Amino acid sequence: MKDSKEFALELFDALGRRRRLKVDKISRDELYEFWSQITDQSFDSRLQIFFDMVDKNEDGRITEEEVKEIIMVSASANKLSRLKEQAEEYAALIMEELDPERLGYIELWQLETLLLQKDTYLNYSQALSYTSQALSQNLHGLRYKGPIRRISTKCIYFLHENWKRIWVLILWVALMIGLFVWKFYQYKQKDAYKVMGYCLLTAKGAAETLKLNMALVLFPVCRNTITWLRSSKLGYCVPFDDNINFHK
């Protein structure tokens, strides 16, 4: 959280709005006041800061766009890249759950109810980071309301979240099988097969798949190529960013 400049700016704006301050710099006394509130470990203080960050126009109502924005900020602060990517989906889930009448907004107390649904995640001594973590946990709770629906919804969202990885793995397995079978039957037609038998066929098939895997292992070294592919249309269906996350 300390490394998130985006979160720091949002926090500064929220503290300033509460005091009707619209400036780029503050005095020493104001800084002390800000710091006192930020370091206050009480739950009420933390929750108030969180609400101030959400309700930017201070009307006591939260729109779907504001919910989406605060999810993205919280995800960025806690380095939850997947949550940030799905901010729009989670915002829609919150609005669906808390705004059944389709008014286009929810009240602050409704969001507070959502955050307080899991007592094990929030108590009167936890920090603001736990507020965003609780939000993430309770978002998953909105999805599952019955055993059958829970399983089906979980499978659907798993496929939705990991479809890039799934199809790449399927392609990789298919290539492995294809190369092995190709070499297997290719050497089965040779005279060496009559001498060495299936040991030769298996070794040649395995060697061909090994070549593919060695090439794939070395591929991430080609950073310029990966950067170019990521910026192309191929970047939409291939999870190139997983390479970055792995090395982190």
15-40 tens-digit pLDDT: 777 776 666 677 777 777 778 877 77
pLDDT computed for residue 127 by the predictor: 40
Distance, in Å, from the CA atom of 177 to the CA atom of 189, rounded to the nearest integer, reads 19
CA angle 62, 68, 69 (to 5 degrees): 90
**Residue 78 pLDDT > 80, yes or no?**
no
CA–CA separation, 75 vs 84, rounded Å?
Answer: 5
Q: Which domains does the chain have, with CATH numbers?
A: 5-143 (1.10.238.10), 147-247 (no CATH)
- Provide the pLDDT for residue 181: 92
Per-residue pLDDT for 173 more than 80? yes
Pairwise CA distance, residues 40 & 165, whole Å: 43
> What residue spans of the chain are helical by DSSP H?
5-18, 28-38, 43-54, 64-77, 81-85, 87-98, 108-115, 128-143, 147-188, 192-196, 198-218, 223-231, 241-247
pLDDT at 160: 76
| pLDDT tens, residue by residue, 120-170 | 333 433 444 444 555 555 555 554 556 777 677 778 777 877 888 899 999
* Contact (CB, 8 A) for 101 and 25: no
Q: Which pLDDT value is given to residue 128?
A: 41
**pLDDT confidence of residue 121:** 37
When pLDDT is averaged across residues 93-108 and rounded to a whole number, the result is 78
Query: What whole-number distance in Å separates Cα of residue 83 and Cα of residue 94?
Result: 14
Question: Which pLDDT score is estimated for 62?
Answer: 79
| Token couple for 105 | 């907004």
Give per-residue pLDDT as tens, 194-226: 888 888 889 989 999 999 999 888 887 887 888
Lowest mean pLDDT among 58-62, 100-104, 162-166: 58-62
Three-state secondary structure readout of 25-58 = CCCHHHHHHHHHHHCCCCHHHHHHHHHHHHCCCC
